[in-house]
Structure 1
Amino acid sequence: MPCYRCGARQTDPDRGPSPWRRGVRADRQVLICPGCQRGRDWARELDHCTTCGATMLVCRLGEVECRACGQVRAVERAPETPVSPSDSPGLSEEVAAALSRLLGSDPTP
């Protein structure tokens, strides 16, 4: 899943926890890359818990749960259709490069 602000794709950290942050925006789970976290109050753009005001929300199976206070609510609207790989520019090139690195071969015919 890419960063919802800039579209950067998440990569695995070298060591330790990921610097990426999760949140919920418009009842959809989103990721925020380290670059978009710098110099902005990005938490204002996220959904907040209606009980405690926290942004530590997770969205799953038609409901949103607050990790701070445990409040669970139903998603207010139907989730949007997921983005298909053909809608993501450059994804096929990224997959081809990853396969090339993994298999040690040229993926082009």
Structure 2
Amino acid sequence: MPCFRCGARQSDPVRGASPWKRGVRADRQVLVCPACQRSEDWTAALDRCVACGSTALICRLGEVECRACGHVRQARPPDRSGDLVTSGAPGLSEEVAAALSRVLGRGLLG
């Protein structure tokens, strides 16, 4: 899953806690990369708990739960009209094709 702000993808994890943060936006789980976390307003685009206002939310099994106060609510059905990433970053399939092309030294069809 890419960063919802810039489209960066996670690399292989290093031992220990991940520097990537989770959040919920439009009732969907999203990730925020370390570079975007340096922005002052990175939490402004995340959903907030209706009970306490925290952005420490997780989305699972059709529910959104606040990790700060424990409030649970039903998630809205997902809007499939577009991706949350608006940066124009390539999708995973394009990244894989480009990596294969670099490694193999030729196009996928050549």
Q: Same-fold call, TM > 0.5? A: yes
> Residues of 2 paired with 1:38 and 1:31: CA distance?
14
**If each structure's helix is expressed as a fraction of its own residues, which one has the higher value?**
1
Which secondary structure state, in structure 2, belongs to the residue aligned with residue 64 of structure 1? Answer: strand
Q: Which residue number in structure 1 is paired with residue 96 of structure 2?
A: 95
Deviates more, 1:15-24 or 1:35-44: 35-44
Distance 1:78 1:60 in 2: 12
TM norm structure 1: 0.73
Separation in structure 1 between the aligned mates of residue 91 and residue 62 of structure 2, nearest angstrom: 30
**Given the two structures, how large is their TM-score scaled by the length of structure 2?**
0.73
The 1-side partners of 2:78 and 2:94 are apart by 28
Give the aligned length: 99
Report the Cα offset of residue 39 of structure 1: 2.9
2:67 is the alignment partner of 1:73 = no
Separation (CA, whole Å) in 1 of partners of 2:13 and 2:69:
29
Give unmatched runs, 5+ long, in structure 1.
Answer: 100-104
Unaligned runs of 5+ residues in structure 2 are: 84-88
Deviation at 1:12? 2.9
1:14 equivalent to 2:8? Answer no
Structure 1: how far apart are the matches of 2:77 and 2:91?
Answer: 28
**Higher-RCO chain (CA-CA 8 Å, sequence separation at least 6):** 2
Please tell me whether the aligned partners of residues 12 and 18 of structure 1 are also in contact (alpha carbons under 8 angstroms).
Answer: no
Q: Which residue of structure 1 aligns with residue 45 of structure 2?
A: 45
Looking at structure 2, the residues matched to 67 and 36 of structure 1 have their Cα atoms a distance apart, in angstroms, of 22
Distance 1:90 1:43 in 2: 24
RMSD: 2.5
C-alpha contact 1:48 1:54 (8 A) present in aligned 2: yes
Give the distance between the partners of 1:80 and 1:19, measured in 2 at CA.
28
